[in-house]
Amino acid sequence: MPLFLPETHPYSPKGPDGQGWNRLSLNAHFETRNQCGLLPIRYATLFESRTGRQRWGGYERCSEGGACGTCPVSNLALDHRPLADWPAASPLLLGRVKPWPLASGMPFSDPAGGRSDVHLETWQGEDTGVKVDWQSLRNDFDARIGWVFRDNDDEVFWIVRDNPAAGSALVRTKRYATLTRHALYGGPGQGRVALLSCHGGCAHEDHHLQHLAADIASLGAGELAQSAAALPPALPGTPRITFGQEGARTVMRYEAGRDHPRSTLHISWDNAPRGLGGGAAAAVLAHAVRLCAAG
């Protein structure tokens, strides 16, 4: 993973105009803008930095001259600190990119140029009052980011939190001729929280189902009861996935992808005989985002 990103230029040894470098020039009076691959300033470089694809452009300046081994930024990245002040019990939030306001009279040298924060909203689009910086998002590997898209106002993307109890969740799978069933349990000795039936193939791995099981198990009875928080027919940023409700069962349909066939998933809620509540809806949508996570 490249951390120190030296400034590059496309010029040949003959210089920008082909006449060489050994002439009177102002280039020597400009600083070298080396950058740090751990300090993204926008979504594209956040994705690069989380997946080891860094290249110069779109990062904050390096302040340590490439001495990454003793750099506090590098040491902080190794801590993988979770996002502070996660604003809701929901595992799923929407990140809305808000550019910093520019100062008047500084059109070319404004330090706010190209900078932004990420404001966190619930999956229904309600502002939580919490904003985070790109470095904090980059360093939290207990949170996964979805693909960026644009709504009517801003650039946005999903942020889904891994459930810390997922390692204890149990998934018991039985395969039949026409379907595969997964019984989900919050942990050893706990009752079943949901029964999943996959028709046409499975589009998930066991660790996806463990996080779903842990998310459901953490809900109270009121959050599983019928409420006005219905699933949307589709979620922006999760391509090839649609949602529906058939009686008390929740349905997720997956179009065929590169790694899985077309699949229809039915979720039967053991503790919610009357339908889907707000907390359960968030758990289902978080599951969909995990399946499509960018990094």
pLDDT at res. 228: 42
Query: How many domains would you assign to the chain?
Result: 3
Predicted model pTM: 0.85
Considering 161, 177, 205, which residue would you say is the last residue of a domain? 161
Neighbours of 171 (CB within 10 A): 18
Which helix (H) or strand (E) segment holds residue 78: the answer is helix 72-79
Q: Is 14 domain-assigned? A: yes
Kindly tell me if the per-residue pLDDT of 247 is higher than 70: yes
User: What pLDDT, in 10s, does the model give residues 236-245?
Assistant: 999 899 999 8
Kindly tell me if the per-residue pLDDT of 26 is higher than 60: no
> Based on the domain organization, do 56 and 124 belong to the same domain?
no
Range of the domain at 178: 166-291
pLDDT at res. 287: 95
> Based on the domain organization, do 215 and 263 belong to the same domain?
yes
| Portion of the chain with pLDDT greater than 70, in percent | 82
Considering 46, 79, 112, which residue would you say is the last residue of a domain? 79
DSSP secondary structure of 43-95? HHHHHHHHTT---SSSEEEPSSTT-GGG-HHHHHHHH-PPPTT--SS-SEEEE
pLDDT at res. 21: 58
pLDDT at res. 104: 65
User: What pLDDT, in 10s, does the model give residues 87-143?
Assistant: 767 899 999 999 888 776 665 556 666 789 999 999 988 999 999 999 999 999 999
